[in-house]
Amino acid sequence: MDTSVAAPHASSAFVQEYLDILAARDPHQPEFLQAVQEVVVSLEPVLDRHPHYRQQRVLQRLLEPERVVQFRVPWQADDGEVMVNRGYRVGFNSAIGPYKGGLRFHPSVNLSILKFLAFEQIFKNSLTGQPIGGGKGGSDFDPRGRSNSEVMRFCQSFMTELFRHVGHNTDVPAGDIGVGGREIGYLFGQYKRITNTFTGVLTGRAPGWGGSLLRPEATGYGAVYFAAEMATTAGGSLEGMKCLVSGSGNVAQYACRKLLELGATPITLSDSSGWIHDPAGIDEEKLQFVMELKNERRGRIAEYCERYTSATWTATDRDAGSNPLWSVPADAAFPSATQNEINDTDARNLVEGGVRLVSEGANMPTTPEAQDTLVEAGVKLGPGKAANAGGVAVSALEMAQASQRLRWTTEEVDRHLKRIMHDIHAVCLDAASSYGFVDDYRHGANIAGFRKVADAMVDQGLV
Ligand code: NDP
């Protein structure tokens, strides 16, 4: 198997040195290597300017997770069949706070994907300005098509092992793909039962039992606030923009809502079976239908077209080499489904279709080649570790509210969220220009995220 990752600056011996070490150690973890490459490519001028990072091997240490736990999750289906899944938790870095990051339940989950997500989370959490380290976990369990009882039994079995490794001062998981309010409820219930404690061990709880208002909305809203900051900096605004949104889950839904509030028009959505294009725009009433369809009935996005004849549905063709959703002419794009959903061909189609701004709601949705194509064409690209940090930022606010036994109003949380997204945007631009990458948000996010964690690691010695 070819384990080399094409670096955006392939000539850089600096990047290759680190990738070679990892590729030798973890030869079957392409997503992890991709995530590392995307960060390391920004760090050469940082290590040159601060030689003590090199002397203390801060980057080598940062590339190795502090701990990885893998465990068996046995459970019983409704028909009595015994099922066995795999559970994981990666505690990547706790230099600036307890591990924090979601749980993903999806059949594609493996250690490479969770290590990439946990690694990204280190920098994202650092950018929020909140005291949280980077972690991620999950399982190859697929909740789609499973009854509530099956999901509950799975979550209880998963937590029966995970509880040993998490805690409100140690590691605080949350939701991600396949883990929403329902799963968080079942996981929390089992943790509380086993440990006989009611603590803020998970975020994304319902507001009635310790959750923060606005947590479900925070990632999608934050990605749109970040886009609004990028648009303002470029001398424009989101108002009147036609927007491509992928996915139809938590992030996509609330990105659509905030776009509508700011006068923009979402015109696409997708799920793993296909995508819809509604040239008339997905307005609030149609969005309500999508929320009921995906969150309550757990149906497929194709049903949108049965209800709204202005729209067309196209099935996903995994062998096509590109995703036609990204060919629809528009002004802005919000990839909000999953990793590597925009390849280089898609990026060229986005540019040709008139897109000037991309804000990544999903984690690592754009391949390195596609990122270069977009940036070279002058598209403003908000990387996921900055643009989708609103979710984990409000999770940290949920932790703060839980420890003080306080509850803030929606308006208060929204004010914090807006300020945090504004600050992340400013910090990215500032770090980018300080190290010679003017206006490039990717490098800015990597450098600003790295410096805070690196300094904490130096302060804390060789641990
Ligand atoms: P959800 O499970 O709510 O929704 C995911 C959506 O993406 C669904 O429409 C799903 O389709 C689709 N999807 C998932 N996997 C694939 C795939 N392999 N191919 C095509 N479509 C796919 O998840 P979220 O909205 O929470 O997460 C979306 C992205 O945002 C992820 O990258 C996640 O890591 C990231 N993110 C989420 C945060 C959060 O707060 N929730 C925070 C920061 C980042 P289907 O219904 O068919 O499964």
Q: Where are the domains of the chain?
A: 218-387
Would you say 362 and 338 are in contact if contact means Cβ atoms under 8 Å apart?
yes
Task: Pick the residue whose CA is nearest to atom 29 on ligand 1.
Answer: 362
Q: What is the pLDDT of residue 405?
A: 87
Give me ligand 1 centre to Cα 343, in Å: 17
Catalytic residue among 136, 242, 258, 286: 136
The kind and range of the H/E element at 314 are strand 312-315
Pocket probe for ligand 1: among 214, 256, 271, 276, the residue whose CB has the most ligand atoms within 8 Å is: 271
Q: Residue 126 and residue 121: Cα distance in Å, rounded?
A: 8
Radius of gyration of the chain, Cα coordinates, nearest whole angstrom: 21
Task: Pick the residue whose CA is nearest to atom 28 on ligand 1.
Answer: 337
Give the atom of ligand 1 at the shortest distance from the alpha carbon of 180: 3
Residue 340: other Cβ atoms inside 10 A: 16
Does residue 11 sit in helix, strand or coil?
Answer: coil
Residue 85: other Cβ atoms inside 10 A: 19
Q: Is 136 an annotated catalytic residue?
A: yes
Q: What is the pLDDT of residue 9?
A: 54
Would you say 344 and 369 are in contact if contact means Cβ atoms under 8 Å apart?
yes
Is the whole-model pTM more than 0.85? yes
Does residue 268 sit in helix, strand or coil?
Answer: strand
Q: For the sheet with 312-315, list strands across it.
A: 268-271, 274-277, 312-315
With a 6 Å cutoff on the Cβ, whether 138 touches ligand 1 is no
Q: Residue 193 and residue 319: Cα distance in Å, rounded?
A: 47
For the chain, 463 residues long, the average pLDDT of each consecutive 10-residue run is: 40 85 93 96 96 96 98 98 98 98 98 98 98 98 96 98 98 97 98 97 96 96 98 98 98 98 98 97 98 95 97 95 97 98 98 98 97 97 98 96 91 97 98 96 98 98 96
The kind and range of the H/E element at 242 are strand 242-245
CATH topology for 218-387 is: Rossmann fold (3.40.50)
DSSP string, 59-92: HHHHTS-SEEEEEEEEEE-TTS-EEEEEEEEEEE
Q: Residue 192 and residue 190: Cα distance in Å, rounded?
A: 5
